[in-house]
């Protein structure tokens, strides 16, 4: 039976996030979004869609890793990618898309959430989707977090090699409650 929920856009960012360039520090792609206390009830699902541009260099391009965190850049990891290899061929401003769904299994101070997502970009060495799970690309598991307090939701990116030509910029951020 229906719980009479409806979908709605919670946040739609209309400006680019700050570019992450020449860094090996885990950094947020867009400013944190605060999820209100007790908003995440049993069965609630959020869908985060982020699109933007990514660039790399030929010499030592390295990897990039994404994480969705509950509690800001140092918070609990809800899901993360494996280290995604950058292409051995240089490219500039290739389009990428990252989509993650976060579902509450139980609410409360010791709430349980399951987050799974995927990342795609046409110019990386692996053009197939790269998945995100609680402990990396191959591990989907629920995570325990406090859902009773206002909490920052942070999407981060991390390059393995600092180079002025390794860059990522978030251009579109849409957070929806799909039920």
pLDDT, tens digit (0-9, with 9 covering 90-100), for 37-88: 999 999 999 999 999 999 887 677 789 999 999 999 999 999 999 998 887 7
Topology given in CATH for the domain delimited by 9-177: Jelly Rolls (2.60.120)
Pick from 144, 92, 151: nearest CA to 121: 92
Q: Any bridge partners for residue 68, and if so which? A: 79, 155
Contact 75, 125 (CB under 8 A): no
Q: Counting beta carbons within 10 angstroms of the beta carbon of residue 93, is it exposed (0 to 12), middle (13 to 18) or buried (19 or more)?
A: exposed
- Could you state, in order of their start, the residue ranges of all structural domains in the chain? 9-177
- Give pTM, 2 decimals: 0.92
CB contact set of 34 (below 8 Å; sequence gap of 6+): 150, 151, 152, 153
Give pLDDT tens digits for 7-28: 899 999 989 999 999 999 999 9
Q: Identify whether the C-beta of residue 156 lies closer than 8 Å to the C-beta of residue 131.
A: no
Segments in the chain forming alpha helices (H):
none
């Amino acid at each position: 039976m229906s719980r009479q929920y409806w979908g709605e856009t919670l946040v739609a960012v209309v400006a680019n996030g700050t570019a992450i360039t020449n860094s090996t520090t885990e950094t947020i792609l867009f400013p944190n979004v605060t999820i209100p206390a007790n908003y995440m009830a049993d069965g609630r699902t959020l869908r985060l869609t982020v699109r933007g541009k990514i660039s790399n260099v030929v010499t030592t391009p390295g990897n990039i890793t994404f994480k969705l965190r509950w509690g800001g850049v140092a918070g609990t990891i809800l899901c993360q990618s494996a280290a995604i290899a950058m292409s051995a061929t240089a490219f500039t401003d290739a389009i990428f898309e990252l989509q993650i769904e976060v579902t509450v299994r139980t609410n409360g101070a010791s709430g349980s959430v399951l987050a799974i997502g995927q990342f795609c970009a046409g110019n990386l060495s692996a053009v197939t989707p790269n998945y995100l799970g609680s402990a990396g690309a191959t591990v989907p598991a629920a995570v325990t977090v406090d859902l009773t307090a206002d909490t920052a939701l942070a999407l981060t990116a991390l390059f393995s090699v600092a180079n002025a030509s390794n860059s990522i910029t978030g251009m579109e951020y849409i957070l929806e409650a799909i039920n």
